[in-house]
Amino acid sequence: MDKAMTRPMVSIIIPAYQAQDSIEDCVNSVCSQVISYEISNAAKDYSGIMEIIIIDDGSTDKTASICDRLSETSDIVKVLHVKNGGVSKARNLGLEISGGRYIAFVDADDLLGDTYLSDLLKNVLRTDADLVIMDGKIVTNDIITGRRYIEDGILSEDTHVWGKLFKRELIFEGGKVVRFPENITIGEDMLFLLEVLKKIDDKACISLITGGGYKYNFNDSGAMLKAFKPSYLDQITCWEIADKELSELEPGISENASIKFAAIRVMAALLVVSKFAKTLDMRDNKGMTVTLAMKEEVVARAKAMINKARAVRGCYGRLSTGYKIKITLFSVSPDLYMKLYGQWKKI
């Protein structure tokens, strides 16, 4: 029997944690996709058009029971209940049990437009692309390289894995299985995508389409109003890792991309400091010893990233006037910067 006949055309992986208010609508939007005749005909070579893999990441609300009910009413929905380990581990588990020729990621609080899947699949059938990107940062009919999308996609704020269709071999074959990093909580999407694009490198196999079919629900849960957590330093860590990964490219990224990347790191470092300054200003004397120890680490990590980024010629000029003022003030006195930022946010 043809190997393709035993697997679905697409595996859609949905990590879910405390998603009782959104997971049913999310899964229903996937199940109700309008599949074109062209895709239905192509799917005859597979066991079906899609499988939906939900990884319940140790939810303690009603997510688990809702997912079980969804799997009981649809034979394309599979659910795996696991101990809470974070979104990266959940996605990696989803990848391990997936069987699709193509793989897509959907977040539990997002929705898909009616023709989202058909739009991606029609393109991949026409182009045989290894990666199809919907509504990315480049508009072109050309088939582009991984290196091109690193410079004009990732470094232009497309750092997420949703809105994309990955050919299975791109993740699982070629000497290295690409996985989501499980030791960080911020930037895991970007690092996974970066690894995929590095694997592609100079091969022209990425197709770009428009469609608006992925309905992203922006929800940071008021992160700037919450007490600072050590995991917020992952905002710095992920770009430090990206810096190392990009330094391994031969030849390296272009001069313009290097300047853009340096500016990104400056802004990321100042974002972490600003989050810390805001929550520091909200605290009373309770736990102040721990807070001050954390401040030393925040300042040291931010300074190191900023100094390295500023060493890139052209970095300072790429920053907006607001960031130029921030970086100058922080360089002169981190304490004054945090004090003024905290007071400004009170206004």
| 205 and 280, same domain (yes or no) | no
User: Number of C-alpha atoms within 13 angstroms, CB side, residue 65?
Assistant: 4
Q: Is the pLDDT of residue 113 over 60?
A: yes
Specify whether the CB–CB gap between 93 and 82 falls below 8 A. Answer: yes
Calculate the CA dihedral of residues 192, 145, 213, 261 and round it to 10 degrees: 60
| 167 and 44, same domain (yes or no) | yes
Domain boundary among 215, 235, 269: 215
Domain boundary among 195, 215, 235: 215
Specify whether the CB–CB gap between 13 and 38 falls below 8 A. Answer: no
Whole-number pLDDT of residue 224? 45
Whole-number pLDDT of residue 287? 54
Whole-number pLDDT of residue 223? 46
Whole-number pLDDT of residue 220? 59
Mean pLDDT of the chain: 93
| 167 and 278, same domain (yes or no) | no
| 16 and 164, same domain (yes or no) | yes
The predicted model gives 197-219 an average pLDDT of 94
pLDDT in tens, 118-142: 999 999 999 999 999 999 999 999 9
Q: List 105's β-bridge partners, or say none.
A: 13
Confidence of residue 293 (pLDDT cuts 50, 70, 90): confident
| Contacts for 292 with CB less than 8 Å, ≥ 6 apart | none
Whole-number pLDDT of residue 221? 52
pLDDT in tens, 156-195: 999 999 999 999 999 998 778 999 999 999 999 999 999 9
Percentage of the chain beyond pLDDT 90 is 84
Q: What is the CATH number of the domain that holds 47?
A: 3.90.550.10
| 207 and 235, same domain (yes or no) | no
pLDDT in tens, 260-283: 999 999 999 999 999 898 877 655
| 52 and 147, same domain (yes or no) | yes
Whole-number pLDDT of residue 239? 98
Domain boundary among 189, 215, 241: 215
Total number of domains in the chain: 2
Q: Is the pLDDT of residue 1 over 50?
A: no
| 191 and 280, same domain (yes or no) | no
| 154 and 273, same domain (yes or no) | no
pLDDT in tens, 53-82: 999 999 999 999 999 999 999 999 999 999
Q: What is the C-alpha separation between 7 and 51, in angstroms, rounded?
A: 9
| 146 and 183, same domain (yes or no) | yes
| 109 and 211, same domain (yes or no) | yes
Domain assignment of residue 267, given as a range: 223-346
Q: What is the C-alpha separation between 347 and 342, in angstroms, rounded?
A: 9
Whole-number pLDDT of residue 226? 63
Q: Is the pLDDT of residue 300 over 50?
A: yes
Angle at 158 (CA atoms; ends 156, 162), nearest 5 degrees? 175
Helix axes 255-282, 321-332, angle to 10 degrees: 60
| 103 and 64, same domain (yes or no) | yes
Q: Is the pLDDT of residue 3 over 60?
A: no
pLDDT in tens, 229-245: 889 999 999 999 999 99
| 88 and 193, same domain (yes or no) | yes
